[in-house]
Amino acid sequence: KAGVTQTPRYLIKTRGQQVTLSCSPISGHRSVSWYQQTPGQGLQFLFEYFSETQRNKGNFPGRFSGRQFSNSRSEMNVSTLELGDSALYLCASSPRDRVIGEQYFGPGTRLTVT
């Protein structure tokens, strides 16, 4: 089975711009979660989607949004980028349905905001 894929892998944006990151989960996984990792911080939860519905949301400003499509692929969008948004963004899918389960992580997208 193919693993979780994320595109693009690297991205450089300018402050004030917006960005869209994409994640394709493992086939059959309907839960997709997004995490942000910055230096000195653990993985910070952004949001989780299950069957196109946001099931959980982390403590991030409204500039961070996401969605999930009927094929379980997910996108996250960050508008009005700030320097502090520079981070590794990880997507993970899970085979569990009722509650979030074991996470299968993608390789991440490294976003640099200048």
Partner 1 sequence: ILNVEQSPQSLHVQEGDSTNFTCSFPSSNFYALHWYRWETAKSPEALFVMTLNGDEKKKGRISATLNTKEGYSYLYIKGSQPEDSATYLCAFNQAGTALIFGKGTTLSVSS
Name the site residues for partner 1 (rule: CB under 8 A). 3-4, 33, 35, 40-45, 48, 56, 58, 90, 92, 99-108
CB 101 within 8 Å of CB 111: no
CA distances from 43 to 36, 88, 110 (A): 6, 9, 14
Residue closer to partner 1 by CB (options 25, 81) is: 25
What is the smallest separation between the CB atom of 34 and partner 1, expressed in angstroms?
10
What is the smallest separation between the CB atom of 13 and partner 1, expressed in angstroms?
23
Nearest to 89 by CA among 76, 71, 73: 76
Residue closer to partner 1 by CB (options 62, 102) is: 102
For 67, the token pair is 């969605």
Residue closer to partner 1 by CB (options 28, 40) is: 40
